Amino acid sequence: MKTLSFTLPLSVRFSETDAMGVIWHGNYLKYFEDAREEFGKRYNLEYISIHQQGYFVPIVKSEIEHKASVYYGEEIEIFIELIQLKSAKILFNYKVYSKSTRILVAQGSTTQVFLDKTTRTLELNKPDFYTLWEKEQTWIERE
């Protein structure tokens, strides 16, 4: 398996917590989105550039496993990893860690597909721009 990855540090804001001061479970999807946006900036695969190529990339599947609590004011790190696939999908895996304790607090994944932005039809093959982008990357081998 080949991957691209990086880690995004974030601070837990008051508005992201519940009455107990714990990160509200639904915010993890927002954190995943923050990591995808930064990934796009870092690797030149931003949503706006995908749109300019004539595609949308909606999420068709998301998964989250909550492992431990994180509280208001704590720092977290979101490790994001793009998995290179043969199919016309974009698969990201995520691991969220407490920065101070290094404990894994959540993990998950999202799967996106390519839709033609004019016809809104599903692309069964990778778009040419994406195939070219993949070829330009320095992928890391993982087991």
Report the mean per-residue pLDDT for the chain: 96
Domain map (residue ranges) of the chain: 2-133
Query: In this structure, are strands 89-98 and 75-83 parallel, antiparallel, or unpaired?
Result: antiparallel
CA distance 27 to 138: 31
Per CATH, the number for 2-133 is: 3.10.129.10
**pLDDT band at residue 142 using 50, 70 and 90 as cut-offs:** confident
Q: What is the pLDDT at residue 19? A: 94
pLDDT tens digit string along 61-109? 999 999 999 999 999 999 999 999 999 999 999 999 999 999 999 999 9
Q: Is the pLDDT of residue 143 over 80?
A: no
User: Please, what is the Cα angle at 65 between 9 and 123, to 5 degrees?
Assistant: 85
Q: In sequence order, which residues have a C-beta less than 8 Å from that of residue 52 and are 6 or more positions away?
A: none
Compute the average pLDDT of residues 105-130. Answer: 97
Predicted local distance difference test score (pLDDT) of residue 55: 98
The reported pLDDT for the residue numbered 118 is 96
* pLDDT reported for residue 1: 78
Tens of pLDDT, residues 19-75:
999 999 999 999 999 999 999 999 999 999 999 999 999 999 999 999 999 999 999
pLDDT at 51: 97
> Nearest to residue 39, comparing CAs of 61, 83, 8?
8
